[in-house]
Amino acid sequence: MNNSGIIGHKDILARLYEAVKNRHVASALLFSGPDGIGKKRVAWHLAQALNCRQFSEQGPCQLCASCRKIAAQNHPEVKIFTKEEKAKNLKIEQIFQLRADIALRPVEALKKVYIIDDAHLLTKDAANGLLKTLEEPPLNTLIILITANPSALLLTIRSRCQKIEFKPLPAREVIRRLQEKNQLENSQAGFLADFAGGSMGLAQTYLEKGIFEKKSELDDFLQGINKADIADVLTQAKIFGRDKEQAKIWLDLLLYVYAQRLKSLPQGQAKDYQQDEEFINLVLEAKKNMAVNINLQLVLENIFLRIKYA
């Protein structure tokens, strides 16, 4: 299959190929599923399939001018709209641009394709602007909305799109790919695939952020926390809470550690069970509150002190 490095999602590809072959692709699709599992890759691939002059059951040829331009992301009529760097949302101006562009007749594309990444980040105005286009889609165009959070989209938008749900990749697949790309022991790859919840993209990001070092730092810290000096515990909370992005990883690691502990607790240890569950709830609460501006250092201090004196 000429599948441009897509991992898994065989059912979805087969379904899309069939629709391309029968010219039954809807005018708007909604790709949903966790981040980092290849939704965007499939969107670009579908754009190739729709525009390939030699499309076959094997998929787009990857050789024709159209396939190559789309692979290089410089086809003039296949475009992606993403949130601008440092912006929090996809703005109405971007949707104006899309609307102006989509109204033009295709010049070289068989089908013009517009990919909107992280579609849940559309502002309300932008979403309403897009809705108008979805209600009266121009001929020979396809809009693909991509999101990890479909419930955050306007219901009216969702109802205009054909939904395609992407599932996390099987752990063995992620492990295999991780070991192909990186030098990892089985146990390391296993932990990483598990921690990233079947997302190859997320696993790779964690790897780049030094997840193994962080995990062993946390393990050491938790192992010694009962005997540790209170000042050291507070210092650690300060270090872990220094910036939001890092703090999120520490919280996720804490969650992971305690979830593993719960899984491995022998029967009949109700006290430990209750305690670990309480820590998990504390961390979940902290993660939820990260959206509003909480003082991460204080939150971590609280969690660590509860663990210390448990």
User: 119: which 2 tokens?
Assistant: 């579609």
Residue 33 contacts Zn ion per CB under 5 A: no
Tell me how far, at minimum, the Cβ of 299 lies from Zn ion, in Å. Answer: 52
Q: Return the range that interacts with Zn ion (CB under 5 A); candidates 63-71, 115-123, 139-147, 218-226.
A: 63-71
- Stretch 38-57 residues interacting with Zn ion (CB under 5 A): 52
Options 19, 61, 154, 262; binder of Zn ion; rule CB under 5 A: 61
- Identify which of residues 108 and 135 has a Cβ nearer to Zn ion in the complex: 108
What is the dihedral sign for C-alpha 269, 274, 277, 283? Answer: negative
Tell me how far, at minimum, the Cβ of 19 lies from Zn ion, in Å. Answer: 17
- Identify which of residues 64 and 102 has a Cβ nearer to Zn ion in the complex: 64
- Identify which of residues 59 and 168 has a Cβ nearer to Zn ion in the complex: 59
Name the residue type at position 45: H
Tell me how far, at minimum, the Cβ of 13 lies from Zn ion, in Å. Answer: 16
- Stretch 82-141 residues interacting with Zn ion (CB under 5 A): none
Buried b (16+ CB within 10 A) or exposed e, 13-40: beebbebbeeeebbbbbbbbbbbbbbbb
Instruction: Give the chain as a DSSP string.
Output: ---TT--S-HHHHHHHHHHHHTT---SEEEEES-TTSSHHHHHHHHHHHHH-TT-BTTB--S-SHHHHHHHTT--TTEEEE-PPTT-SSB-HHHHHHHHHHHTSPPSS-SSEEEEETTGGGB-HHHHHHHHHHHHSPPTTEEEEEEES-GGGS-HHHHHHSEEEEPPPPPHHHHHHHHHHHS---HHHHHHHHHHTTT-HHHHHHHHHTTHHHHHHHHHHHHHHTTTS-HHHHHHHHHHHTSSHHHHHHHHHHHHHHHHHHHHHPPTT-HHHHHHHHHHHHHHHHHHHHTSS---HHHHHHHHHHHHHT-
Residue 67 contacts Zn ion per CB under 5 A: yes
Q: Return the range that interacts with Zn ion (CB under 5 A); candidates 66-74, 142-150, 185-193, 245-253.
A: 66-74
Distance CA 133, CA 141 (A): 11
- Identify which of residues 53 and 306 has a Cβ nearer to Zn ion in the complex: 53
- Identify which of residues 26 and 64 has a Cβ nearer to Zn ion in the complex: 64
User: 193: which 2 tokens?
Assistant: 């695939």
Options 6, 64, 154, 259; binder of Zn ion; rule CB under 5 A: 64
Tell me how far, at minimum, the Cβ of 50 lies from Zn ion, in Å. Answer: 10
Residue 71 contacts Zn ion per CB under 5 A: no
- Identify which of residues 48 and 94 has a Cβ nearer to Zn ion in the complex: 48
Tell me how far, at minimum, the Cβ of 54 lies from Zn ion, in Å. Answer: 5
Q: How many CB atoms lie within 10 A of CB 289?
A: 13
Tell me how far, at minimum, the Cβ of 69 lies from Zn ion, in Å. Answer: 10
Q: Return the range that interacts with Zn ion (CB under 5 A); candidates 61-69, 94-102, 108-116, 200-208.
A: 61-69
- Identify which of residues 60 and 129 has a Cβ nearer to Zn ion in the complex: 60
Options 8, 60, 168, 241; binder of Zn ion; rule CB under 5 A: 60
Tell me how far, at minimum, the Cβ of 252 lies from Zn ion, in Å. Answer: 41
Tell me how far, at minimum, the Cβ of 49 lies from Zn ion, in Å. Answer: 8
- Identify which of residues 67 and 255 has a Cβ nearer to Zn ion in the complex: 67
Point out which residues bind Zn ion (CB under 5 A).
52, 60-61, 64, 67
